[in-house]
Structure 1
Amino acid sequence: MLTSQRKQLILEKLAAEGQVLSKDLSAYFDVSEDTIRRDLRELAAEGQLQRVHGGALPSSSAVATFSERKSLKIEAKQRVARKGVELISDGQVVIIDGGTTTSELITLLPPQLRITVITHSPSIALGLVTHPTIEVILIGGRLYKHSIVTVGAAAIEGMSNIHADLFFMGVTGIHPEAGLTTGDYEEACIKRAFSGRAAETVVLASPEKINTASPFVIGELSLINTLVVEDETDKGWIRSVEEQGVSVMKA
Structure 2
Amino acid sequence: MIKEQRFDFILNELKVHEQVMYEQLALALDVSEDTIRRDIEHLYRNGLLSKIRGGAILLSKNPLTFHDRTAFLTEEKDIIALKAQQFVKNGNTIFMDGGTTICAISSRFPADIQLRVVTNNQALIEVLAKFKHIEIIGLGGVYDRNTATLTGGATCKEAEKYIADVYLMGTCGVDDKLGVTATWETDANVKRSMLGNARKVVALSNHGHLGHVEAFKVCGMRDVHALITNLDANHPDLNSFRNLGVQIV
Band the TM-score falls in, shorter-chain normalisation? 0.5 to 0.7
Cα distance in 2 for partners of 1:211, 1:147 equals 21
Cα distance in 1 for partners of 2:74, 2:155 equals 29
Report the counterpart of residue 121 of structure 1 in structure 2.
121
Report the counterpart of residue 176 of structure 2 in structure 1.
176
Alignment partner of 1:94 is 2:94: yes
Cα distance in 1 for partners of 2:77, 2:121 equals 18
Deviation per residue, 1:181-221 (Å, 9 max, x gap): 11101111110110011100101211221121212111211
Q: CA separation of 1:217/1:71 partners in 2, compared to 1, >3 Å: closer, same or farther?
A: farther
Cα distance in 2 for partners of 1:231, 1:208 equals 10
Q: In the alignment, is the contact (CA less than 8 A) between 2:72 and 2:103 conserved in 1? A: no
Displacement of 1:156: 1.0
Alignment partner of 1:111 is 2:135: no
Runs of 4+ residues over 3 Å off in structure 1: 70-73, 231-237
Q: In the alignment, is the contact (CA less than 8 A) between 1:73 and 1:207 conserved in 2? A: no
Report the counterpart of residue 144 of structure 1 in structure 2.
144
Cα distance in 1 for partners of 2:229, 2:216 equals 22
Kindly provide the amino acid, as one letter, of the partner of residue 86 in structure 1.
Q
Structure 1: 5+ residue stretches without partners: 1-69
Q: CA separation of 1:210/1:231 partners in 2, compared to 1, >3 Å: closer, same or farther?
A: same
Cα distance in 2 for partners of 1:193, 1:187 equals 10
What is the alpha-carbon root mean square deviation over aligned residues?
Answer: 2.0
Cα distance in 1 for partners of 2:211, 2:146 equals 23
Structure 2: 5+ residue stretches without partners: 1-69
Q: In the alignment, is the contact (CA less than 8 A) between 2:182 and 2:188 conserved in 1? A: yes
Cα distance in 2 for partners of 1:232, 1:169 equals 19
Cα distance in 1 for partners of 2:114, 2:175 equals 34
Kindly provide the amino acid, as one letter, of the partner of residue 93 in structure 2.
V
Displacement of 1:236: 4.0
Displacement of 1:225: 0.5
Displacement of 1:157: 1.1
Deviation per residue, 1:92-128 (Å, 9 max, x gap): 0011111011011111111011011110111111111
Deviation per residue, 1:41-71 (Å, 9 max, x gap): xxxxxxxxxxxxxxxxxxxxxxxxxxxxx98
Displacement of 1:234: 6.7
Report the counterpart of residue 163 of structure 1 in structure 2.
163
- Give the match's secondary structure for 1:164: coil
Q: In the alignment, is the contact (CA less than 8 A) between 2:116 and 2:134 conserved in 1? A: yes
Cα distance in 1 for partners of 2:81, 2:221 equals 20
- Give the match's secondary structure for 1:214: coil
Cα distance in 1 for partners of 2:117, 2:185 equals 24
Q: CA separation of 1:164/1:246 partners in 2, compared to 1, >3 Å: closer, same or farther?
A: same
Cα distance in 1 for partners of 2:96, 2:169 equals 7
Alignment partner of 1:192 is 2:197: no
Alignment partner of 1:210 is 2:225: no
Q: CA separation of 1:76/1:107 partners in 2, compared to 1, >3 Å: closer, same or farther?
A: same
The 5 Å alignment of 1:1-251 reads 74-232=74-232, 235-249=235-249
Cα distance in 1 for partners of 2:99, 2:82 equals 15
- Give the match's secondary structure for 2:80: helix
Q: In the alignment, is the contact (CA less than 8 A) between 2:207 and 2:231 conserved in 1? A: no
Q: Which has the higher contact order (CA 8 A, sep 6+)?
A: 1
Kindly provide the amino acid, as one letter, of the partner of residue 142 in structure 1.
V
Displacement of 1:233: 6.3
Q: In the alignment, is the contact (CA less than 8 A) between 1:81 and 1:204 conserved in 2? A: no
